[in-house]
Amino acid sequence: MPKIVYGKVSALGMTIQQTKKLVDEYANEMKELYGLNMSVKDLAEYMGCHKETAEKNLRRAKVPFTYIGRLKKYRTVHVARMLVDHMGRV
Please classify residue 42 by burial: count the beta carbons closer than 10 Å to its beta carbon, then call 0-12 exposed, 13-18 middle and 19+ buried. buried
In the chain, % of residues over pLDDT 70 = 80
Q: What's the fold here for domain 16-89?
A: Multidrug-efflux Transporter Regulator; Chain: A; Domain 2 (1.10.1660)
Mean pLDDT across the chain: 83
User: Per residue in 1-43, pLDDT tens?
Assistant: 444 444 444 445 667 777 888 889 999 999 999 999 999 999 9
